[in-house]
Structure 1
């Protein structure tokens, strides 16, 4: 079932300005959100110089908090930009999504916070049992 992308944009990415929702499908207990970066350029992390020259792009899959009892998976297209500084050792860099997730993370920031709170509140085996139950109920892993 195809859903209204603007509705999901406001629901899933509330307060996150740098992401556009392209499509949302809900089927078989999973909500799949296809999104991409909104910014036309990004700044090199080493030199801070802005670049709009896209080198390549790749897909990231991020798990998010369940929506209406269904697990949520974000398919995020991340662009790699070329650094225009001649002596930059990095040469290319990925556009950052600091409000949504950390680099290399497989969870959104808000899902990671929930899992951290479960771990800190319950600790040890009780936290592991609750995380297992949450995983079974909404496919968190």
Structure 2
């Protein structure tokens, strides 16, 4: 299964090295792919400094084009970072 996840990550996210496939589920009518960001820090949109302090996270679900007649759903765990610069 680990090999399948690695190969699927290469195929789906060729130009996005910061995305990692963590799970794949086939429930018959839909293929559900769990993905997660590899990044440990992000830029603050206000001041531009880097922050690694996680403020929270949420799940986002995106539908993609069908594969072999079945729906494809991406389940993305998105993290929100808090700026460490007090100003």
Tell me which residue corresponds to 1:23.
Answer: 23
1: distance between equivalents of 2:35 and 2:42?
17
**Whose strand proportion is higher, 1 or 2?**
2
Encode CA deviations 1:34-91: one digit per residue, 9 max, x unaligned.
Answer: 111111111111211110111111100011122233211011000011101213xxxx
Tell me which residue corresponds to 1:63.
Answer: 63
Tell me which residue corresponds to 2:77.
Answer: 77
Deviation at 1:28, TM superposition (A): 1.7
**Whose helix proportion is higher, 1 or 2?**
1
Output aligned runs, 1:117-136, within 5 Å.
none
Q: What SS is found at the alignment partner of 1:85?
A: coil
Q: Structure 2: which 5+ runs fail to align? A: none
Q: What SS is found at the alignment partner of 1:4?
A: helix
Aligned residues: 85
TM-score where L is the length of structure 2: 0.86
TM-score where L is the length of structure 1: 0.56
- Give the direction of change, closer, same or farther, for the CA distance of 1:10–1:67 in structure 2 (3 Å limit): farther
Runs of 4+ in structure 1 off by over 4 angstroms are none
Q: Which has the higher contact order (CA 8 A, sep 6+)?
A: 2
Tell me which residue corresponds to 1:129.
Answer: none
- Give the direction of change, closer, same or farther, for the CA distance of 1:15–1:34 in structure 2 (3 Å limit): same
